[in-house]
Structures are given as structure tokens and as C-alpha cells.
Chain A
């Protein structure tokens, strides 16, 4: 039974990784500052992914200047749906998933998740906000990226409510360490970010089967909105997901990395983004600590080179 406070020794014996240790022992040690733009700048991530032949959502257009906002309507013409995100955003803030709706009196309208409907000027405003740097990591001017909206694999889309679920895999030195599935709720307004109220679901690396779910620190077994059972679900294309994560890690060359993957109905696993400072809630979703696994990988004198061998190693860590 969980006490109000855990004792530090109990957490240590469970291998729970804390923020301080994560920063110093993993983020700072394995992710050299010069490489951080590879994940902090989503445009750069996309470039690298393309160069390595990694599947990513197609990029429709990138806006840099406010003057470009005026012509947005014309440039979005013919796109049934799209995702708008700040190039240097973090924690999913500022990301809007828009689906074109029936026009009213010739004016375009967009469903943007959470049951909200935006007119064009609201969309323009949001884009201008992104450009002004409100969501960017360093507060500087940012770019707004318009991306293809992923048509999620129906087998896991049903787990989510109002948004695309994504798979977060944390890797150390190219070896997957832990994974979770994040599904949106009404509260998270279609976004798969846990701090916004999405559900985190632990996924076994070996089997790709969900085994625990929690939301805002509470464990649960069914989706709070739809009531769909969340546990015991086998994720489709699981080996492919792991393979993609390992290849992304190689392409970005970041030692400690969180890779966010979505399952496209047609293309299979698609890289959404990388994160050089992946959050620690994945431990709660998996009811397991990261530290022991990370230390086990660090203790290996030599890491396996091939993708398959690394996945096998990962799966032996999390059977």
C-alpha cells in the first residue's frame, strides 16, 4: 500500500530515477549541448530523419514571419487536416491538431480537439503567437510548422479520446530502456501530454503489451472518458516501433533520448519527435524505476552494434 511519502531508500531500491540524477547523470552526461538543437528544433529533427530515411509526418509548410500569416488560408487550401506546432516548443505546448470542417458562409472552420471549433482568424492568431516565441524553449522568435495529421492506426486509436495516442520510448546509448503509450483525454484536449491530463500506459518492452495505466498519479484500468479497457492491449507493430526508436537514436546521436512515435494507419510507426530531457512519469506508468536498467546498460563493457541485438538486450531488461 502506498504511503503518503515514499522513503528515499525504498525509491532507491526500486530504482526510481529522480530529476536531479536524471539531469546530471544522464542528460548532461550523454547529451552534449551542441547536439540539443537536433531535438529542440523540430525542423532540424525532420531534416536528420529525412537524411536517414526515417518516416516522419510530412511537413506542409513552415512559417517564419508574421507577414506570412496573411496568406495562410490560401496555402492551407485543399488540406483536410493538419497539425500546427512550434518548431522549438516543449511539452506539447502550442500544438494544435486541426481538422477542416464544413464551411459556414464560405468561411473555413477547423475542429481543433477538445470539441473546440476555430475560425481562420483564431488559427492565424495562434500561429502569430507561435511566431512570437511564446511556446519556444528560449523565448526567442520561433517558426510554426504545419505537418501532416497522422491517421492513427485504428487498433490503438480507439484507446484515445480526441487525439492521436503516441508511444514514448526512452533509450540510453541506443538501447530502449522503457516504453509507455500516452492516450489523450477530454481534459488533455486531444494532446498526449501527461501533465495536461493524458493517460500514461506502461508497455512491456518484450511483449509490447500494456500492463499499467495512470493519470495524474492515479492508477486506472479503463479510459476515463470512453471506458475502453487500457490494460492487456498488445500494441501492433511493436518490433517495428522499437526498431524505429533505435534508428532515431542513432540518427540523432543523443545518448539519453525519449523518442515519440505514432502509429500511422498506412505507414506504420512514424517518428513524431525526439526529446533530450524525457520526463520521469514513465516510471509511474510502468510501476518501475529507470535507474537499475540504465545502470545495467552503463555497466556493459561493450554495447551490441546491431539494431536487433540492442532490441534483444532491451527486451531482456524488461521482460
Chain B
């Protein structure tokens, strides 16, 4: 039996310890999921390919800088490259960074070129710049021949024929030829619907023939097709902040801006929006085509990769649950996958065993008396729901009203159940008046009055009144104080939001709580209150009384002190008379159902 008990207790502590160890050390999750702020760090990685087709590595590179509105700071890895702010101030607000190699850039070296931080508020899609400067700078956005190989050119031509070379104009209809913009729009829908996104980057011709392509190729295709039609177009690149395809780093995505008159129209073949950006799309920079085909790996064999990484010191709830869901064991009881409303409900439920642990400790180890066993916990729950000040005030008023009502009802000599019902009605009436007055005067937020342990309070008032009548002011005040102390302790537990989050994340911790309760249940020592209660027995040294007779000494010196010392002893105790019989007689009877039940 003892082994069974110890095993049970150990298991209760070991299981959560093991899972916590596994989660933090093996899965490398933080102890608590942190509410992820939309704070992103990003890196632009410049990958110098290992097999350059051109003999020489570039002597300088112009890297588009994320616009300053989204940046907080930038750092350049100074190991291999020296950064100079380019004089070539970017078109339409985009800055460029001129990078000069420090020494001969070796093939295969991969360098983090830029890193920075982005706060979500700044990630709102930028309004495309307008104005005369945009107008005058339109010419470079028409160049397509530079970027299209011979093979690609054929494919583009074939596509052009396919899509509008045989215009869909019915006989007899005197229709104008579609405007260039309309044709571009047609291209756009073709790319969005017919060329499916694919991870790997391909050439334009491959994308057309295989009907699939990377985000970059799809955007480039649209830009080239637009420019062929004489419509200025450019690539806008960035990332979707709500992108869930990657765990923590966001893939770089390429979209298109098309010039229509004075302004640039956002066109997104990834999400299929025309005229607007997806609200989560963060445009890092624009127009990379102009910069010596940085992305054209066929030509200079460099690969610019942009990684945006969500800055989380911990991991957000969603992320946390994603990781846990990958494990069949955790999937069984991971609460993080539940809807938010249920989550908060279960968080509260999970706190109740902890509150009960506190309650049990206060009763079994400290020995605090209270009205009812779980009444204080429910009161604590109410305080948590309503805020402490409101809860306490409301509780005080209700108890006062209830007790007064009870005293009045006492004269009417009613039977118990109707009497209880009347007291409950009185409390409800009081709540009603309070709520109406509160609406008018705005003492507290209305939702703070949502939950109230009505029935519990009714029984509480009944017990309170009976205790008052039967055992006097002192015992009543003592039990009331005890009830409030436990309620406040419970409130403390319930309002610890970290604890709530911890239990929600690691519900298996409840096993440890149960183990602690097992230990508490097996506690055989004195209660703190008993050290006070039996203080008079702790002072005088004495042999094991009773087992061996102390003859007449008992009545003389130890047990029956002369009147003088009796007076002294009572004086000693005078400042706080202990509860003589306390709940001793029936403490456990109150918890456990009676024998008849």
C-alpha cells in the first residue's frame, strides 16, 4: 500500500516533469508560449553561387533597400562586403545599397547582407507613390528584351498568340480592340489561374509549357508580358505576414505593379488580387529587374534570398500548438488547438484544482476555518470574475442584506426551504437594483457582474446566521475571516495569468497537483492553528504523560497549577483565546457524506 502510494505520488510528479523536459529541451519550446507580437526580423541573403557561368564575380552590387518606413535599423555583414549607400536614389522611393566586395568574393560564400526589424504596424501595404516623378521615370519599366532569353522570347510570343492573337470578337460586333491594360489583365488571370505556384524557380518558357512556376517566375512573366504590350510594369517583392506555409521564416513572394496613368496598380498573381494588395502583404522593395538581373540566376548565378522571421522570444500559442500537434501524445490533451472561448473556460477549470490545493493546504496545514468547504473557492472565482474591489463590496452588501433579511425572517418562523428561497430572491433583487443603478451611474463595467455564486451565497448566509445564533460573534467573525482569507488566496491563484497560460499549455501539470494533494491528504502533522490551540501543552516539559504514572506530581505541579499560575496562564492566552473545540468534532463529517447517505 505504501509502495502504491509512493508510486502514485512519484508518477504524478514525474510525468509532468518528463513532458516539460521533453518540451523545453528536446522540442526546444519555451516554457510558456509568448503572445507573438507582429515583430519581424528579416535577412537578405546574398548567395554567391558555387558554379558561376560568368568567369568573374560581380565587382559591385546594388541591393534594393526596404523602404525606410518599415525599417528600424539595418546591419550589413561587414565580413565580405563593404556597404555604401548608393547615389542611385531609387526610383519611386526605393533606396539601393551599393555593396563592394572587401576582397575577392569566393564562389560559394554565402553572406547575410542585410538584416533589420519590422514592426507590424509599419507593415501596412504602402500606397504606391504617385506624382510627376513616377511619370517621367516610366521608360525603364518598359524594357523587356534585356531580361528575356531567346528561348523565352518564343514562348512569350506563343503565349501572346494564344491569349489575344486570336481575339475573341464575335462576328458582326464592332468592338474596339481591347486596350493594352485589358490585355494585361487577361494575362494576369491566365497566370493566376493557369500557371500554378510551384516551389522551384524555372525559366519563363518552362513556366509556360509546364503551367507552373515559382512566385518570381510568375511575377516576371506578367511584367514581361505587360512591358511587351507597352504597359510599364515592375516587380514588387515582399512577404505575406500571415503566411502559414513556413513555420517561422516567411518565404519571399513576388508581385507586380502596373502603371496606369499616374499611379501604379498593385497586381498580385499569388493571391489573385487586382488593384489592391492583400492586407498582410509587406512590400519590401520594388523593381529588382532593373538591377542587373540580380535574380536571373542563369546570367550571373547569384541568388538573393530574403528571409523574414517572426521575432518571438517565445513561441506564440498557434506555433506552440503546431509543434505539439506533431506528437501523438501531446495531441491527446493539447488545449491550444481548442477555440479561444473554450480555452479560457478550460484555463479556469484547470485553475480550480490549484485553488483546491491552496484551500486544502490552508485547511490541513494551517487550519483556517471557513463556512463550507468550497464556498471560499467559489467566492474567489467570483472575485476574479468581478475584480477584487467590486467583488468584495458586492459580497459585503449581499451578506449584510441577506443576514438582515434572515434575521427578519426568523421572526416569521418559516420552514427552511422556503426561507432559503426567500433569501435567494432577496439577493437577486439586490443584484437587480445594483445592476440598474450601475447602468445609470456606471460604477463598474456591466460584464463584471455576470457571474455570481447565488446558491452558494444563500447557503452561506444561512450558515452564517446559524453560526451567529449558535456560537456567537467570535466564532462567526473567525469563520468569516477564514472564509475571506481562503477566498482571497483563491483569487490570487485565479488571477495569476502566467499560471493560467502555463496550465493551458501544460495541462498534464494537474497530475503534479494531484500528487501534492495526495501528500496533503497523507499529512499527519499538527496544523498551524493547533500549535496555538495547544500552546498551553507545549510549554511545560513533561515525560510521556500517562504511560508511566507521575504519581501525585500531576495534581500538584504540572497539570493543576496553583491559582496564581492559572491566572498567569490565562493572561498569557488572553490576547487571542483559541478556539477550544473548533471544528474538531465534525470537521471531516462536513466534508464526507454522512453515514446514511
Contacts and interface: CB of A to CB of B under 8 A. Distances in A.
A93 B573 contact: no
Given A18-B527, A124-B413, A11 B534 contact: yes
Given A1-B572, A195-B475, A283-B537, A6 B531 contact: yes
A16 B539 contact: no
B537 A277 contact: no
A93 B577 CA distance: 22
Contacts of B211: none
A128 B586 CA distance: 23
Contacts of B549: 316, 319
Nearest to A278: B585
Given A11-B538, A138-B594, A284-B537, A319 B551 contact: yes
Nearest to B589: A137
Contacts, number: 245
A216 interface: yes
Interface string A1-39: 111111110110111101111111101000001111100
A318 B559 CA distance: 12
Interface stretch (A100-108, A145-153, A157-165, A218-226): A218-226
Given A5-B535, A34-B595, A36-B594, A194 B545 contact: no
Interface string B546-561: 1101110011001111
Contacts of B577: 216-218
B544 A7 contact: no
Contact of B415 (A128, A209, A283): A128
A212 B557 CA distance: 11
A287 B585 contact: no
A129 interface: yes
B530 A217 contact: no
A93 B467 CA distance: 10
B536 A293 contact: no
A229 to B, nearest CB: 10
B574 interface: yes
B21 to A, nearest CB: 34
Contact of A11 (B470, B472, B475, B531): B531
Given A19-B584, A195-B471, A6 B538 contact: yes
B596 A40 contact: yes
A275 interface: yes
A121 B413 contact: yes
Interface stretch (A55-63, A72-80, A196-204, A303-311): A196-204
A193 interface: yes
Contacts of B579: 195, 217
B596 A275 contact: no
Most-contacted residue by chain A among B530, B537, B551, B566 (CB, 10 A): B537
Contact of A193 (B462, B573, B578, B581): B581
Nearest to B470: A93
B597 to A, nearest CB: 5
B416 interface: yes
Interface string B561-597: 1010010111011100111111011111110011111
A190 interface: no
Contacts of A243: none
B417 interface: yes
A293 B578 CA distance: 24
A2 B413 contact: no
B585 A91 contact: yes
A36 B589 CA distance: 10
B525 interface: yes
B542 interface: yes
Interface string B508-552: 000000000000001111110011111111110110111101110
A287 B536 contact: yes
Nearest to B570: A218
B581 A6 contact: no
Interface string A56-97: 000000000010000000000000000000001011010000
Contact of A134 (B416, B558, B560): B416
A66 B582 CA distance: 32
Give the interface size class of chain B.
Answer: 35 or more
A280 interface: yes
B539 A24 contact: no
A2 B588 contact: no
A296 interface: yes
Contacts of A140: 594, 596-597
Interface residues of A, number: 89
A36 B594 CA distance: 8
A195 B526 contact: no
A284 B532 CA distance: 12
B367 interface: yes
B488 interface: no
Given A36-B595, A217-B578, A90 B545 contact: no
A132 B569 CA distance: 43
A117 interface: no
Contact of B539 (A3, A124, A209, A296): A3
Nearest to B539: A2
A15 B546 contact: yes
Contact of B596 (A24, A88, A122, A287): A88
Contacts of B593: 138
B537 A16 contact: yes
A317 interface: yes
Given A128-B415, A134-B466, A90 B538 contact: no
B594 A284 contact: no
Contacts of B471: 195-196
A234 interface: no
Contact of A284 (B536, B558, B566, B570): B536
B402 to A, nearest CB: 16
Contacts of B462: 134
B364 interface: yes
B456 to A, nearest CB: 14
Interface in A109-156: 121-122, 124-125, 128-129, 132-134, 136-138, 140
A129 B465 CA distance: 13
Contacts of A279: 581-582, 584-585
Most-contacted residue by chain A among B415, B530, B585, B589 (CB, 10 A): B585
A72 B278 CA distance: 85
Interface string A275-303: 10111110110111100110010000000
A183 to B, nearest CB: 14
B545 A15 contact: yes
B536 A13 contact: no
Contacts of B594: 36-37, 40, 88, 136-138, 140
Contacts of A27: 588
A137 B589 CA distance: 7
Contacts of B563: 221
Given A128-B413, A218-B577, A275 B527 contact: no
B517 to A, nearest CB: 14
A214 B579 CA distance: 12
A315 to B, nearest CB: 10
19 contacts: A6-B534, A8-B525, A14-B545, A18-B526, A19-B530, A20-B525, A21-B524, A40-B595, A66-B415, A121-B413, A124-B413, A211-B554, A217-B577, A219-B561, A281-B581, A288-B546, A289-B537, A292-B547, A319-B554
Lowest 4 CB-CB distances: which A-B pairs, in order?
A6-B538, A132-B416, A36-B595, A138-B594
Interface of B: 364, 367, 413, 415-417, 462, 466, 470-472, 475, 522-527, 530-539, 541-542, 544-547, 549-551, 554-555, 558-561, 563, 566, 568-570, 572-574, 577-582, 584-590, 593-597
Given A2-B573, A8-B531, A204-B555, 12 more contacts: A3-B538, A3-B539, A5-B532, A19-B530, A37-B594, A41-B595, A41-B596, A93-B470, A137-B589, A138-B593, A138-B594, A212-B559
